[in-house]
Amino acid sequence: MGQSVVSVVCVLSLIVGTCFASSQVSDRITELPGQPKNVGFAQYSGYVTVNEQAGRALFYWLVETPASRKPESRPLVLWLNGGPGCSSVAYGAAEEIGPFHIRPDGKTLYLNPYAWSSLANLLFLESPAGVGFSYTNTSSDLYTAGDKKTAEDAYTFLVNWFERFPQYKHRDFYIAGESYAGHYVPQLSQIVYQRNKGVQNPIINFKGFLVGNAVTDDYHDYVGTFEYWWTHGLISDSTYRLLRVACDFGSSQHPSLECMKALNVAVLEQGKIDPYSIYTRPCNNTQSLKRELKGHYPWMSRAYDPCTDRYSEVYFNRPEVQKALHANLTRISYPWKTCSDIVGNYWADSPLSMLPIYQELIAAGLRIWVYSGDTDAVVPVTATRYSIDALKLPTITNWYPWYDNGKVGGWSQVYKGLTFVTVTGAGHEVPLHRPRQAFILFKSFLENKPLPS
């Protein structure tokens, strides 16, 4: 989508005479239903086509830094949620790092005091097609989504999005995400890094990435997860021994029958807890405890849910909200959901390890931070530590506690080429459970400074 396709109009903006694409102007959100008045920042949302032939279009929501904080001087951060098949609008935007959270009535919004958008311009992407408002006119796409296509489509999205928002073309750019975005973020980072070297491709001013409670390497993730369950008293000694023998730690895409049986026993032993946040009460609906024991990470259900995502399911299905967001223009034949079961259940390809990509991008000198909430039993801190350890990086700054108002906020270790941070008392979605500590972490990442010690 070049300049020839998108007509360019000059609109009066804060900087008189700035030229914006006309489609950018039509993507401007005037106001969301139920939002507080006079918020002081601009928002845009809409669709970017990533494959004309198949009719694949991805939905985005851009939240700029408040005008008082000079958005034009702030970096751009793309946020991706995982699943696979879960919406960045439902999780990242609406209950973690976005400017608004949804009240239990499903109708009104309130300001998030720890919104990451006060530090950077945030771009939320519902990816791949079939997730949230993102759609495809080729229904087979829903059954063939996988890591490779997701990364390629996300790159195409970025290239086309920068054409629509040329004022961001040369801005410092970072990619962030959590959970299964532990695959999306490094894979997209690798494509951006590699294509930046090509003569034909537009240069994206890519500086680095940030991932939290990230699926990283199957072998180490399995070992570390079973160990976490056992050391936190969630399973018996005998089940722990059985899991270690029966689950062959990432040598194949699908666990054996013996492994599945052992995992079923582990689920029964763990009981009615929220595995995404083991010390907080689960939502009082058994649906939130449903675990789909299939696929790549058999203990990982599709979404974290102590009720907050119920509110987004109500809010984003309201016709007036969709109209304000310029969403669902083609009237997709299904309701908006926080996670797509079809996309998640039929996931096509998922490499066993992201570590080779880490090695390539560390060598390239990109900024890489990995963080972990330490009360998550789905992609636990032990899994992440084993994965990082496998990179065999030299230590620059040894393990140290970091502080927020005199209280330990977590721990950190700085390696050559990678910074690891834990957030104490946080579950799978760190900014949901520990919003203030997550904000401090994000600020340190952007400034490339160690956490306050």
428 in catalytic set: yes
Which of these is catalytic: 183, 296, 326, 428? 428
- The neighbour count for residue 448, using CB atoms within 10 Å, is 11
Structure tokens at 438: 């997550």
Concerning whether 376 is annotated as a catalytic residue, the answer is yes
Query: Which residue is catalytic, options 147, 217, 221, 376?
Result: 376
- Catalytic residue, chosen from 179, 312, 340, 444, is 179
Q: What residues are annotated to the active site?
A: 179, 376, 428
